[in-house]
Structure formats: structure tokens, C-alpha cells
Chain A
Amino acid sequence: MTLNGLSVFYGENLAVRDVSFGVAANRITAIIGPSGCGKSTVLRSLNRMNDLIDGCRVIGDVAYRGIDIYAPDVEAVEVRRRIGMVFQRPTPFPKSIYQNVVYGLKLAGIHDARDDRVEHALRQAALWDEVSGRLDSSALGLSGGQQQRLCIARALAVEPDVLLMDEPCSALDPIATARIEDLMAELSERLTIVIVTHNLAQAARASHDTAFLTTEVDDHGNRTGVLVEVAPTDRLFAHPIDERTEQYITGRFG
């Protein structure tokens, strides 16, 4: 995926200005930056989840396999079917575990081998062993970490090409976090992952590439997110080019 001159407005307020970077296929790209710098806004514009916010306007383009997803002839629902998303807080539907995973398949009208697909998705999300005996019990009875892995399984069941993760571990304990990071490494063999995180160690551990965003404040006190630096994660953390990146990752700012 390629972001080219992406700016996002909320009403009159410019939330993110002129962000351009590429997301390499089959790699994990982390987006880091201080609170309010527009990390999530950028992420949500990658599968048009911003469409849901009143007064949100997007300028520039986001190319997915050569097609601008904001072009007028693009169907947002189809975009989201291929570019899945996992949210900050686990959002299991108040249904059984099985019904949660099979949900996307039902939407997509996929009828064949549903049970196999559900099992495969749950195995991919490293949840199968814990829930295989109780697929019919409610998803809300799972722990927070299990719920988040269920949400990942649910997103994987429709076999997306790209998976967007918006601080997927911020509500989880270190053990659950480690499991999800392992999972991402495995999944990146088959799909592209973009993860927003405020945990620098996580970005350093779990991602291949890192984009650093920060906030600029103009004369009127309006805060706007801008892209500072994109680089392979090792390089960005070892030898940041921009002074602001260095300050942020060494903990002197943000």
C-alpha cells in the first residue's frame, strides 16, 4: 500500500498533514508517535473507517495494489473486506465464539467448509486449543487477551490481504501481548500488517518497518500530525536521522 500526500480533516481542523509512505507487502509496519499525533487517523484512513466519522475529509490518495481506495468508483465495503482491522479494545460480538468467527464468512456469502475455515482462523490466532471444546459458549466469557485473539481470528477468517491493528495490546497484560506479537510474526508470512502502537519496545520488537509521526502546533494552537521519518525498524531505532525521532525514542519527548 502507498500513502501519497494524505491529509485528513475533521471538520475545519487539519488532523494529519501530507503523509506519504509505503507499506511493504508481507511485512509488519509500525506507526509510532506521541498521543494525538494522528497515528490512528492514518491507520483508519487505510481501510476507509474514517468514512464513519462525521465531517471527516480525506485529501491525497491511498493506493492499494495500484488502486486509489478513495476513488469515486471504489466500494468502501469491498476495501474493508480485503483490509481487515483489529481495534484497541477487544470487540467481540455478544454471540458464541463460533458465531463470532463465522460472521465475516456469512457477510461474504461463503458457505463451503465453514467449520474448517473457523478452525483454521482460530488456529492462526493461537486460540484453537483454548476454545475448541466450547465454540458454542459466549465470546464475552473469554479473558481480555482471548477476546482480542478472537477478534484477530474473526478478521483472519475472511482471509484479508492486509490487517490493520490499532494498539491491539494496550488493554492486555504482558503475557497476552507477547502471544499477539508472536502471532503477528507468523501472520506476516502470509499478509501485510500495519500496527499502531504507543509502546516503543513493541514497535522495536515486533515490526520490520517503522513510521514516526509527531504533532506540530501552529500559531492558533491547532495540533496537526505530520510524518517525520520512515525506515526499517532496526535502522530507525539505531540511527534515527531526524532529531525529533531521536528525542522521542530516547524518551526525551512525548
Chain B
Amino acid sequence: MTDTALLPKPSTQPGFGPVLEPSQRTDVRAKTVSAGRRRTDKVATIALWCAVLAAVVPLGAVITVLVAKGFGVVNWHFLTSDIPSVTGQTTAACRDITPAFRAKYGINCSPPAPGMGPAIVGTLISTGLAAALAIPIGILGAVYCNEIGVRTRLASAIRFFADVMIGVPSIVMGMFIYTAWVVRFGTNGRSAFAAALALACLMLPIVLRSAEEMLRLVPDELRHANLALGGRPSQGVIRVVLPAALPGLISGSLLAVARAAGETAPVLFTIGVTLSLNTSPFGENTTLAQQIFSGAKSGLPLANQLAWGAAFTLVAIVFGLSALARFVASRSSKVQKG
């Protein structure tokens, strides 16, 4: 074998045994791996790369189209102005009058500029309220299930119904709030608050189950250490377990917020519709998801522009929230890990 010629001569130094030639059993070089195993490795590597591509390509395509169609629409005016009416009547009326007539009476016949301000505000109000309702209740429920009543029937009932709720289609949540809340107040019942109730129903089980998983990751040793120092179990939950789980609680909650911000179905019934700004949680309102829905189905060029602009804005808001939550989580875990 030519390879063995390159190996050092057997050593006679004390402490070093003679260098043995590699035998079939001890040769660790790659070429000794059987062809079958190397082939399996190649195939698995290629398959994994294909899976990565399959995941990344659609994501990239969505983002590309979104930026191409939406980015140009979004500007300061778009973010702050009321939503224009897109019935097309203005253009029909303008067809019959001369430019001179328009100038004389100051009639503006250029198509209205797209605006999405009310929907941005409505999305922030309804999602914010839903988060304020669902996140505390969800985390407290998780604390009960994992810290206080671990093996009680109530805890397993909560887990079971949370799992069922995760599977309930979001439109059913909308119907539920519509019958339980909106119809009691007639048309006045439609509001960002009603939408928030529906979204909170949607978020609650997601927050609860993810928070429970995060609490479960906190080692029992920390709970025991709290008790060994003369702490009550409740003190351990507040001072040790929740802070230790905080980064996970934040990302779980954010997942639920992002999900709620993009929901259309539960909002359709419950929020009503408006084209002008409403900063109150009560009274009819609108959200970006709802505007995407109505803009996309209308087919008019302005409506399509509105829909793409709204879609881009929505994704930007969710992305911004995620980045913020990651930042907060990484800062709090930095304090913990040093």
C-alpha cells in the first residue's frame, strides 16, 4: 500500500507505543466508508436541500410579489388618509363634462389617491385589545395547568378544550361573537371591540398551549430551589418560573398576535365597515385584512391597488412586531444567560 509509506516510522520514544499500520478495522478515512452508506448520505443531503428550497421558494415568491405590487402604493398619504370610495361613479360623471367645466367649478376628476389609515388604526385597536384580553388569561391558565393544578381534572379539561378551540375554524369564532355580542346591540354592536372579542377567542388557546409548553421547559430544580429557600410555590412562579420562561412566553404570544392580525373571517361579521378614521374601540371600524378581502374581490384598479398596499402594510406590521418581540426576548435572555 502506498499510503502507509507516508506514515511515520514506528516510534521508540518512551510513552509512545509503536505506530500501527491502519488495518481495515481501524482505518478512519472517508474512502473506507462503504459505497452504500456514502450514497445514502448523498441522497439524504440532496433531499434536505430540496426540502429547504421547497420551503424558501414560495416564501420568496410571496414576498417578491407583495413588494412589487404593494411597495409602490405605500407612502405617507396612504398610511394616514381615509380609504377612498371605489364605486367608480366619479369617473362616470367626469366623462360627460369638459375639462374647462371642471376647472371652472373646481371639480376634481383625477382618480382618488389610495389611503388605508382607518384600516391600520382599526387593525391595531382590534388586535391590541384582543392581545390584552387573551394573553393574560392564556398565561394565567397555563400557570394553573402547569404549576398549581397539574394533575387535577380541571387542568386536563382546560387542556382538552384549548386543543378543541385551536381546531375550531376562525369563522365560527366570528359567528359566536356575532350572536353573543353584536346582535344584542343591533347595528351598534359592530365595533373593533367586538372584533377583538372574536380574535381573543382565537388567540386564547394558542397562547395557553404555547405558554404551557414554555413553563414545562423550566426545570423543576428551580422550583425546588425556591422552596428550599423558604419560598412559597406561588412566589416561585412569580419570581423564578415566569421570568425564566419569559422569552418563550413572548414569542408564543406574538405568534398568536400575528395570527390574529391577519384573520379576516371573524372580523367580517363583527367590525362593520367604515372608510373614515375611528380611533374608538366602539362604533364601526375596519381592518387591513378586511380591506384586502374587499379590495381584492372588487376588481377595479384602484381597489386592487388598495388591497396590495394593505397587504404590504399588514405584513410589515407583523414583521415589525416579530422583530420587536425577538429583540425583547433576546435582551431578557441575555440577562439570564450572561
Residues of A bordering B, CB below 8 Å: 47, 49, 52, 54, 77-78, 80-82, 84-87, 89, 91, 93-96, 103-104, 106-108, 137-141, 151, 154-155, 158
8 A Cβ contacts from B225-243 to A: 225-232, 235, 239-240, 243
- In the complex the two chains form, is B151's CB within 8 Å of A54's CB? yes
- In the complex the two chains form, is B336's CB within 8 Å of A137's CB? no
- In the complex the two chains form, is A84's CB within 8 Å of B228's CB? yes
Closest 10 CB pairs of A and B: A138-B338, A81-B230, A141-B338, A94-B336, A85-B228, A104-B229, A91-B221, A91-B225, A107-B231, A80-B230
Contact of A87 among B224, B232, B239, B244 (CB under 8 A): B224
Contacts of A104 in B (CB 8 A): 229-231
**A195 CB → nearest B CB, Å:** 15
Contacts of B240 in A (CB 8 A): 93
**Beyond the given A80-B227, A91-B221, A91-B222, could you list 12 further A-B residue pairs with CB under 8 A, ordered by the A residue number?**
A52-B224, A80-B229, A85-B228, A91-B219, A93-B222, A96-B335, A104-B231, A107-B226, A107-B231, A140-B337, A151-B225, A155-B228
Do A95 and B228 contact each other (CB < 8 Å), given the known contacts A87-B221, A107-B235? no
Contacts of B229 in A (CB 8 A): 80-81, 84, 103-104, 107, 154-155, 158
**B152 CB → nearest A CB, Å:** 12
Contacts of A77 in B (CB 8 A): 227, 230-232
Complex alpha-carbon distance, A56 and B156, angstroms? 23
Residues of B bordering A, CB below 8 Å: 151, 219, 221-222, 224-232, 235, 239-240, 243-244, 335-338
**B218 CB → nearest A CB, Å:** 9
From B218, which residue of chain A is reached at the shortest CB distance? A94
Q: Can you give 29 A-B contacts (C-beta < 8 A)? A: A47-B228, A49-B227, A49-B228, A52-B224, A77-B230, A77-B232, A80-B228, A80-B230, A84-B228, A91-B219, A91-B221, A91-B222, A93-B222, A94-B244, A95-B335, A95-B336, A103-B226, A103-B229, A103-B239, A104-B230, A104-B231, A107-B229, A107-B230, A137-B338, A140-B336, A141-B338, A154-B225, A155-B228, A155-B229
Do A108 and B230 contact each other (CB < 8 Å), given the known contacts A87-B224, A95-B336? yes
- In the complex the two chains form, is B243's CB within 8 Å of A95's CB? yes
Q: What is the count of residue pairs linking A and B with beta-carbon distances less than 8 angstroms?
A: 81
Complex alpha-carbon distance, A155 and B338, angstroms? 22
Contact of A138 among B224, B232, B235, B335 (CB under 8 A): B335
Complex alpha-carbon distance, A47 and B230, angstroms? 10
Contacts of B239 in A (CB 8 A): 103, 106-107
Contacts of A85 in B (CB 8 A): 228
For the residues of A in contact with B, the DSSP-based class is helix
For the residues of B in contact with A, the DSSP-based class is helix
From A138, which residue of chain B is reached at the shortest CB distance? B338
Complex alpha-carbon distance, A158 and B226, angstroms? 12
- In the complex the two chains form, is B225's CB within 8 Å of A138's CB? no
From B332, which residue of chain A is reached at the shortest CB distance? A94
- In the complex the two chains form, is A78's CB within 8 Å of B338's CB? no
Contacts of A52 in B (CB 8 A): 224, 227
Contacts of A78 in B (CB 8 A): 230
Complex alpha-carbon distance, A106 and B151, angstroms? 30
From A90, which residue of chain B is reached at the shortest CB distance? B221
Contacts of B227 in A (CB 8 A): 49, 52, 77, 80
Complex alpha-carbon distance, A155 and B151, angstroms? 30
**B229 CB → nearest A CB, Å:** 4
Complex alpha-carbon distance, A96 and B151, angstroms? 33
Contacts of B336 in A (CB 8 A): 94-95, 138, 140
- In the complex the two chains form, is B224's CB within 8 Å of A49's CB? yes
**B334 CB → nearest A CB, Å:** 8
**A192 CB → nearest B CB, Å:** 16
Complex alpha-carbon distance, A115 and B253, angstroms? 37
- In the complex the two chains form, is A93's CB within 8 Å of B225's CB? yes
- In the complex the two chains form, is A93's CB within 8 Å of B244's CB? yes
Contacts of B243 in A (CB 8 A): 94-95
**B106 CB → nearest A CB, Å:** 67
Complex alpha-carbon distance, A230 and B180, angstroms? 71
From B220, which residue of chain A is reached at the shortest CB distance? A52
Contacts of B337 in A (CB 8 A): 94, 138, 140-141
Complex alpha-carbon distance, A158 and B151, angstroms? 33
Complex alpha-carbon distance, A140 and B335, angstroms? 10
Complex alpha-carbon distance, A38 and B228, angstroms? 19
**A123 CB → nearest B CB, Å:** 19
Interface centre among A49, A103, A154 (most CB of B within 10 A): A103
From B245, which residue of chain A is reached at the shortest CB distance? A94
Contacts of B235 in A (CB 8 A): 107
